[in-house]
């Protein structure tokens, strides 16, 4: 029996794995934080926040500032993200080709909100591939690096967690997948260095999405 025969579901992160959004988001995050009075480099933002939920982002800002943010604190900044995504967002190179070759059920499990996930997938033409199988940190109590989101996705697919494979590009996502008892392939074709994914416990690390079908079969 091949490994592909033993897979019940392939769980994709969204940002940085399906859509090439991390470069856009990190640049805007830096501008947002600077506007709020917290100066961080892109690498510091990558290390602290990429792969985590919006709730975590807010909590960290509040802790740094020493005060609560208003409920609508994000409102002035949302157009920055929306405009950049509408102008520049594309799918990760090779994703459509890889999806065409994967016969196992696929789904998305992302730290982003449902609205954000659907908007990103819609802008890149990928929404129809995952419609009805999109899971968000909004659906669970604890976001990544807790295993909750991936376990929720497996349950919704009716799949055994040990027979699921996660595709992740953040160290928090890798840690969450391992905590869920899942095999995890770390994608290093974006911003996150391969060594971060390896240190987090990725089963394998790859930088070309076209290699994914063979990795799943291997």
Q: Give the strands of the sheet with 9-12, arranged side by side.
A: 134-136, 106-110, 9-12, 164-168, 183-187, 204-206
Give the 3-state secondary structure of 137-162. Answer: HHHCCCCCCCCHHHHHHHHHHCCCHH
Q: Which pLDDT belongs to residue 4?
A: 52
Do 26 and 134 sit in the same domain of this protein? no
Residue numbers of the domain that contains 35:
22-87
Q: How confident is the model at residue 192 (pLDDT cuts 50, 70, 90)?
A: very high
Do 10 and 32 sit in the same domain of this protein? no
Do 120 and 186 sit in the same domain of this protein? yes
Q: Which pLDDT belongs to residue 1?
A: 34
Do 96 and 12 sit in the same domain of this protein? yes
Q: How confident is the model at residue 186 (pLDDT cuts 50, 70, 90)?
A: very high
The average confidence (pLDDT) of the chain is 95
**pLDDT tens track for 104-145:** 999 999 999 999 999 999 999 999 999 999 999 999 999 999
Please give the Cα distance from 164 to 167 (Å, whole number).
10
- Non-local (6+) Cβ contacts of 96 within 8 A are 125, 126
**The CA-based dihedral angle spanning residues 96, 98, 102, 106, taken in that order and rounded to the nearest 10 degrees:** -60
pTM for the structure as a whole = 0.91
**pLDDT tens track for 72-108:** 999 999 999 999 999 999 999 999 999 999 999 999 9
Q: How confident is the model at residue 6 (pLDDT cuts 50, 70, 90)?
A: confident
Do 137 and 207 sit in the same domain of this protein? yes
Cβ atoms of 64 and 38 within 8 Å: the answer is: yes
Do 120 and 207 sit in the same domain of this protein? yes
């Amino acid at each position: 029996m091949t490994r592909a025969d033993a897979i019940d579901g392939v769980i994709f992160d969204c940002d940085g794995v399906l859509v090439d959004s991390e470069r856009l988001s990190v640049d805007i995050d830096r501008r947002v934080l600077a506007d709020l009075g917290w100066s961080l480099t892109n690498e510091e933002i990558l290390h602290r926040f990429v792969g985590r939920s919006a709730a975590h982002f807010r909590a960290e800002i509040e802790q740094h500032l020493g005060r609560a943010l208003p409920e609508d604190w994000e409102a002035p900044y949302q157009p920055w993200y929306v405009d950049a995504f509408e102008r520049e967002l594309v799918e990760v190179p090779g994703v459509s080709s890889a999806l065409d070759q994967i016969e196992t059920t696929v789904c998305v499990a992302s730290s982003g909100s449902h609205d954000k996930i659907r908007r990103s997938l819609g802008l890149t033409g990928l929404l129809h591939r995952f419609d009805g199988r999109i899971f968000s940190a909004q659906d669970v109590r604890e976001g990544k690096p807790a295993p909750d989101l991936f376990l929720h996705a497996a349950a919704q697919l009716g799949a055994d967690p040990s027979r699921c494979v996660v595709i992740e590009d953040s160290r928090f996502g890798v840690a969450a997948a391992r905590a869920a008892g899942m095999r995890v392939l770390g994608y290093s074709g974006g911003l996150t260095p391969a060594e971060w994914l390896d240190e987090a416990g990725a089963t394998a690390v790859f930088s070309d999405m076209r290699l994914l079908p063979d990795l799943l079969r291997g």
